[in-house]
């Protein structure tokens, strides 16, 4: 028999928890909101935390056997965009919007189906499953941050992180959960 042993999220350094964890019948998800580098609350009226929690709620009502994981996730993302008013929002710099790592999975008697982007981790029979594609970019960014310490290190750290974020969902960058419908 296959069973879920534990689902958890460890809050990062932000005052507001930007993570959401949920389950509905045989479905479960972890959504890890990325640090807000562009003040999305001011930009679109919703914080990363609020977007992540709205997405989690939408997933909980859209888990239907008749749909694939991708269809469920796409529907939930479109509902989030509609709820926060992004369907009429004119923005070409989608990297400025909230982004998130995620695992969305369905567990049945015989198999585990899942979708994953970013650095969330799933342990299955003591095997670690994660998406390592972003690791090299962040390692490079950390080295740039270390090199910049001394002169305006706080500003330099944010600039470096913004430079990395601009690479999100680009062929030369990394793939991450986003509200940009071009990547659904």
CA distance 77 to 130: 22
CB 91 within 8 A of CB 38: no
- Sequence-distant (6+) residues with CB within 8 A of 180 are 94, 97, 169
Give mean pLDDT, residues 113-137. Answer: 83
Predicted confidence (pLDDT) per residue in 87-101, tens digit: 766 667 788 899 999
Percent pLDDT > 90 in the chain is 41
| Mean of the per-residue pLDDT values of the chain | 82
Predicted confidence (pLDDT) per residue in 130-143, tens digit: 877 777 766 666 66
Strand order, beta sheet including 19-24: 19-24, 27-33, 100-107, 112-117
pTM of the shown model: 0.84
């Amino acid at each position: 028999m296959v069973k879920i042993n534990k689902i958890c999220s460890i809050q990062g350094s932000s005052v507001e928890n930007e993570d959401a964890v949920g389950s509905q019948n045989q479905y479960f998800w972890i959504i890890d909101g990325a640090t807000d580098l562009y003040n999305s609350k001011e930009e679109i009226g919703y914080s990363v935390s609020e977007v992540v929690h709205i997405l989690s709620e939408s997933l909980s009502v859209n888990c239907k056997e008749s749909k694939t994981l991708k269809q469920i996730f796409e529907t939930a993302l479109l509902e989030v965009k509609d709820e926060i008013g992004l369907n009429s929002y004119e923005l070409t710099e989608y990297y400025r919007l909230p982004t998130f790592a995620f695992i969305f999975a369905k567990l049945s008697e015989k198999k585990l189906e899942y979708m994953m982007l970013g650095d969330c981790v799933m342990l299955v029979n003591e095997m670690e499953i994660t998406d390592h594609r972003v690791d090299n970019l962040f390692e490079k960014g950390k080295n740039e941050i270390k090199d910049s310490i001394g002169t305006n290190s706080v500003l330099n750290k944010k600039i470096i992180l913004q430079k990395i974020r601009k690479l999100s969902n680009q062929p030369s960058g990394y793939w991450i959960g986003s509200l940009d419908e071009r990547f659904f």
